[in-house]
């Protein structure tokens, strides 16, 4: 039988199938962080069950961590308690922790791939919906709830029904200034936020084949924003090259053996998907969101649609936007480049390249937050730090930062923030904060102009701002 990439990885991890019920799926790697694990550890202790495979778990602290003065104790008592609890739990159960101060610490979905923990053909889970990021490697990776975290602790397995399969093809060549973030925002705007519910997505076509690993991670990261449990891309030379030489990647002969296996991980010609969509790369433009879910996106020079619907109108009211309006030229006081969607070195190279020799607008607070200690080091080693600082951007220490209002980095009520993060939900970046999702390129262009700007149509934008 012809199999899809998803089938191949899933089927090879099925321990057992229950008649008329779910399957027992084996999990290769379990990533944990401070927010969604404490209740799972407590559950285990209550039942007096040991952690079954501590060697297959990797922990980091990311959601709660401050991005300033990380060498000092965390000021917020509840945050500090949660991070300390993670440290204690990891010690007690023999789990590797890259906590604050460790050179590998970072956002869980940035840290694991850059260490080579994420490898093709694996099953990976984490109590975080953006675990879908790791699908960029041809991995079945998905977010789970805390009860499931406890299940994986207890058995290294999960009880699951196999999701349906969809394929999203994008062919052709992307236009100048169109980044992977625009590709996924475009797809979600076209398909809607629940189009993927019950499905696992595979991204196929030359756009993804030609994309860097960082770009593929950005795309897969946002699969959850269209409701899909995860998204994946078949591993290829780009993938093997990325994994090679990483801290936990196989070496020498072992690596070659793995590559031979990884090469079999692609959808067979003629394999059937439950749903399939095809888009043309030339139709994709830089995107911005105008509403309160990631599906509410338009091309940067587009207009907010004129829909008559209670939820839609409630959303515009929260954002302070009108139907039919364009966002180009809107004054913006906050810009955030970071989050598990866009905080990898490539994102900062693109940002720095644009910023070089320019100054941020006086009205803008522009925050640059690397995804991990390793990315922070790269920023420094490659001289990007100077570029950011000379242009007036604030470079912080790694963490989830202003993606979600769980640490000190919050956007004030009523303010707009052009953000490279993944969610523009009400209050996501702080109570009353208004988030506009965009690529790192639109984010820096906006920071420089002080208004929402298209990076390569500067004159047009300057005219609008006057």
Q: Which of residues 262-321 bind another protein (CB under 8 A)?
A: 293, 309-311, 314
Alpha helices in 234-309 (DSSP H): 237-243, 252-262
Q: With CB under 8 A as the contact rule, which of the stretches 45-53, 171-179, 275-283, 367-375 interacts with another protein?
A: 45-53
Sole binder of another protein in the list 423, 434, 440, 447 (CB under 8 A) = 423
Smallest distance, another protein to C-beta of residue 215, A: 23
In whole angstroms, how close is the CB of 143 to another protein at the nearest point? 4
Site for another protein in 221-250 (CB under 8 A): 224, 227, 229
4 interacts with another protein by CB under 8 A: no
Strand 287-289 versus strand 297-299 pairing type: antiparallel
Q: Does 107 bind another protein (CB under 8 A)?
A: no
In angstroms, what is the minimal distance from the CB of 398 to another protein? 18
Region 323-342 residues binding another protein, contact defined as CB under 8 A: none
The structure tokens listed for 302 are: 């587009």
Positions 365 through 404 that interact with another protein (CB under 8 A): 404
Contact code string over 174-203 relative to another protein, x by CB under 8 A = -------------------xx--xx-----
- Strand-pair category, 230-232 with 297-299: unpaired
Min separation Cβ 409 and another protein, Å: 12
| Residues from 56 through 95 that contact another protein (CB under 8 A) | 63-64, 76, 78-79, 81-82, 85
Residue among 315 and 326 whose Cβ is closer to another protein: 315
Asked whether position 20 contacts another protein by CB under 8 A, the answer is: yes
- Taking CB under 8 A as the criterion, the residue among 92, 94, 101, 147 binding another protein is 147
- Interface with another protein includes 101 (CB under 8 A)? no
CB of 282 to another protein, least distance (A): 30
The one among 68, 91, 261, 458 contacting another protein by CB under 8 A: 261
CB of 96 to another protein, least distance (A): 17
Q: Which of 133, 148, 401, 439 binds another protein (CB under 8 A)?
A: 148
User: Of 46-54, 300-308, 364-372, 375-383, which part binds another protein (CB under 8 A)?
Assistant: 46-54
Q: State which residue, 148 or 343, has the beta carbon closest to another protein.
A: 148
146 belongs to the binding site for another protein (CB under 8 A): yes
The residue (of 420 and 422) whose beta carbon lies closer to another protein is 422
Neighbours of 231 (CB within 10 A): 30
Selected binder of another protein within 35, 188, 351, 364 (CB under 8 A): 35
We find the least distance from the C-beta atom of residue 258 to another protein, in angstroms, to be 9
């Amino acid at each position: 039988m012809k199999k899809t990439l998803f089938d191949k990885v899933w089927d090879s991890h099925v321990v057992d199938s229950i008649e008329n019920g779910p399957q027992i799926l084996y999990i290769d790697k379990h990533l944990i962080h401070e927010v969604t694990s404490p209740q799972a550890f407590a559950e285990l202790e209550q039942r007096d069950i040991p952690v079954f495979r501590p060697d297959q778990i990797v922990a980091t602290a990311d959601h709660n961590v401050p991005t300033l003065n990380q060498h000092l104790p965390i000021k917020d008592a509840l945050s500090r308690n949660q991070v300390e609890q993670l440290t204690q739990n990891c010690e007690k159960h023999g789990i590797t922790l890259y906590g604050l101060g460790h050179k590998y610490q970072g956002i869980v979905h940035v840290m694991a791939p850059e260490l080579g923990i994420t490898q093709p053909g694996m099953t990976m889970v984490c109590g975080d919906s953006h675990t879908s990021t790791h699908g960029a490697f041809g991995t079945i990776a998905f977010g789970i709830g805390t009860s499931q975290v406890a299940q994986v602790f207890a058995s290294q397995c999960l009880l699951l029904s196999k999701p349906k399969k969809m394929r999203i093809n994008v062919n052709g060549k992307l236009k100048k200034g169109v980044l992977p973030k625009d590709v996924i925002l475009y797809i979600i705007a076209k398909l809607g936020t629940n189009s993927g519910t019950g499905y696992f997505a595979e991204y196929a076509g030359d756009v993804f084949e030609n994309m860097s690993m960082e770009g593929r991670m950005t795309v897969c990261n946002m699969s959850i924003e269209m409701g899909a449990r995860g998204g994946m891309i078949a591993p290829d030379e780009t993938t093997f090259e990325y994994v090679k030489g990483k801290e936990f990647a196989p070496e020498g002969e072992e690596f070659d053996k793995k590559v031979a296996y990884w090469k079999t991980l692609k959808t067979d010609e003629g394999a059937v998907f439950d749903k399939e969509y095809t888009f043309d790369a030339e139709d994709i433009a830089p995107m911005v969101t105008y509403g309160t879910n990631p599906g509410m996106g338009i091309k940067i020079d587009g207009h907010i649609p004129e829909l008559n619907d209670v939820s839609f109108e409630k959303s515009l009211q929260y954002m302070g936007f009108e139907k039919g309006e364009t966002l180009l030229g809107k004054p913006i006081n906050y810009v955030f480049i970071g989050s598990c969607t866009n905080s990898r070195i490539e994102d900062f190279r693109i940002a720095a390249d644009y910023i070089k020799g320019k100054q941020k607008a006086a009205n803008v607070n522009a925050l640059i937050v690397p995804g991990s200690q390793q990315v922070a080091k790269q920023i420094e080693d490659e001289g990007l730090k100077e570029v950011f600082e000379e242009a007036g951007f604030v470079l912080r220490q790694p963490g989830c930062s202003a993606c979600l209002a769980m640490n000190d980095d919050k956007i004030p009520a009523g303010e707009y923030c052009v953000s490279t993060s993944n969610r523009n939900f009400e209050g996501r970046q702080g109570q009353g904060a208004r988030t506009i999702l965009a690529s790192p390129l639109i984010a820096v262009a906006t920071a420089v102009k002080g208004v929402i700007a298209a990076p390569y149509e500067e004159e047009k934008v300057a005219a609008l701002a006057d």
